[in-house]
Chain A
């Protein structure tokens, strides 16, 4: 039985189609990534699966339970780590876990044992008696992960688990997630717009404007790129593009740089230099999911802009946290 299955899932907010006819299956124990830019519909999809939003059309199942008709069973099978803050700042770390455990009906002995285990796993044990208000962003995120796992759900949702964290903290959270996965063998559905994170998933669905545009393992997705990505920095991108067109190679110009895919990058470069147009720099790299995204959607996820928005959102978070 699939851990998660979506059949023609659609969600409209007034005129906005946030999720459009999404169908996919996530196998038990799989680490599945939803990759997409801001507003792609990632959070909406998770919210429907978590019974927080009714779908407009289509069906969704979690651990075999219908998310509309069997809400209680779905909620019991699910651990959720929200994109935005959801802890009680005025309670201690341990109290936050205890309240969650009690809401899920975890018995008190099991609750103490499990809290201790998770607090240790996520290295929050020494801080268990501190008010969450005094925690750093990374610590809060770890506590939210612990809370999501407390009642031993079959499926864990992580909505942009590293959003708004600095690179070191992001790497740290990531290593904790690896640890959790190894230890608990749980099915994970994660959303992200960080390419490196998506690369670590077993399979990735790339979504854009609410629609799945590709779904496969990161390896196979990258292989669809057909070879290497060559980036050419030239003063005459038009001339370069004409040459490439003659060779039957499609190229894009982005920020004054020319991007193309060729089967064998190393062999291609000497050929490029023989054409006579000025070249300042050339780079070859293996394709990334970013390239795949660009090719499939015609636009970049635009890390730069995203970073800016993340910072803004993080500020909002801090602000709202008073």
Chain B
């Protein structure tokens, strides 16, 4: 099992390293949010947060967004692998199918954490105060969050046969989830129905935990955030595995 996970993971890593363009393009969107939206709004409006600039407020959310998109789209590879026949070759090998899913999820988690770290490294340019413990905690959190996201992506990807459908579905589900998570603007001022939606949005807890770690400012107790994230990761990974096995 460990061997299978490693081999599947390794293949994704090699392919990722070979496509610097892919690495670059998935960073464009977060950079736009950070430097265009964040800095732009920040310079036009006075910050609504006493001791934080707007860019600082949204920075943890942008890290979360980077993870979200990277991990989610890395799970599309399972769709390609089926489409281009590579998966068949793996399925006739004496490997457990659970290992295949976990390998994919692990690679999504790794890629998410790598990209997240690249954004995190830009923190000082927008005045993020960093301490080493906070960075380490952020890294762990990023791994966990991207694992959950990658698993969710796999669960969707195995039920879908076309890349277009996947893309549409992602935009339809992911963007609202992202905006409701409190990553870009505070949710507290929203009308009640939206606040309720925000409370059931699992991303809220990931973003909140990230804010807690990086800004020491959060809505929910960290134990609640982490509990939700852990449960989500475990549940989604199990679901992805189940759906993948059933799709064979």
Contact = CB atoms under 8 A, between A and B. Distances in A.
Nearest to A54: B248
A72 B99 CA distance: 14
A90 B18 contact: yes
A140 to B, nearest CB: 11
A101 to B, nearest CB: 9
Interface string B73-96: 000000000011110111111110
Interface string A62-105: 00000000011101101010101111111100010001101111
A86 B91 CA distance: 11
A84 B83 CA distance: 11
B3 interface: yes
A75 B10 CA distance: 22
Contacts of B126: none
B83 to A, nearest CB: 7
A50 B94 contact: no
A48 B91 CA distance: 12
Given A75-B94, A86-B89, A104-B94, A320 B11 contact: no
A104 B84 CA distance: 21
Contacts of A100: 89, 93
A320 B85 CA distance: 10
A122 to B, nearest CB: 17
Given A85-B84, A102-B3, A103-B7, A90 B91 contact: no
B91 A82 contact: no
Contact of A91 (B7, B14, B91): B14
Contacts of B91: 52
B15 interface: yes
Nearest to B100: A103
A77 B84 CA distance: 25
Contacts of A103: 3-4, 7, 90, 93-95
Which of B4, B11, B14 is the most central at the interface, judged by chain A CB atoms within 10 Å of its CB? B11
B92 A80 contact: yes
A76 B95 CA distance: 10
Which of A72, A80, A90 is the most central at the interface, judged by chain B CB atoms within 10 Å of its CB? A90
Interface in B2-29: 3-4, 6-7, 10-11, 14-15, 18
Contacts of B10: 99, 102
Given A88-B11, A90-B15, A99-B11, A320 B92 contact: no
A49 to B, nearest CB: 10
Interface residues of A, number: 29
A321 B85 CA distance: 10
A86 B7 contact: no
Given A90-B15, A99-B7, A99-B11, A78 B84 contact: no
B92 A50 contact: yes
Nearest to B89: A86
A84 B92 CA distance: 14
A51 interface: yes
A89 B84 contact: yes
A147 interface: yes
Interface in B96-140: none
A52 B92 contact: yes
B51 to A, nearest CB: 48
Contact of A87 (B11, B14, B89, B93): B89
A199 to B, nearest CB: 28
A147 B14 contact: no
Interface string A282-314: 000000000000000000000000000000000
A207 B88 CA distance: 25
B92 A95 contact: no
Contacts of B86: 86-88
B11 A91 contact: yes
A139 to B, nearest CB: 16
Contact of A82 (B15, B83, B85, B93): B85
Contacts of B89: 80, 82, 86-87, 100, 147
Nearest to A157: B92
Contact of B83 (A52, A102, A147, A320): A320
Given A50-B92, A82-B89, A102-B3, A95 B84 contact: no
A72 B90 CA distance: 13
Given A75-B93, A76-B94, A91-B15, A52 B88 contact: yes
20 contacts: A50-B92, A52-B248, A73-B94, A75-B94, A82-B88, A84-B85, A86-B85, A86-B86, A86-B89, A87-B86, A87-B89, A90-B15, A91-B14, A100-B89, A102-B3, A102-B7, A103-B4, A104-B94, A105-B3, A320-B84
Interface of A: 50-52, 71-73, 75-76, 78, 80, 82, 84-91, 95, 99-100, 102-105, 147, 320-321
Q: Which 8 A-B pairs have the closest CB atoms?
A: A86-B85, A75-B94, A103-B93, A86-B89, A102-B7, A85-B85, A72-B94, A80-B92
Given A102-B10, A103-B7, 18 more contacts: A51-B92, A52-B92, A71-B94, A75-B93, A80-B89, A82-B88, A84-B85, A85-B84, A86-B86, A86-B88, A88-B84, A88-B86, A91-B11, A103-B4, A103-B93, A103-B94, A104-B94, A320-B83
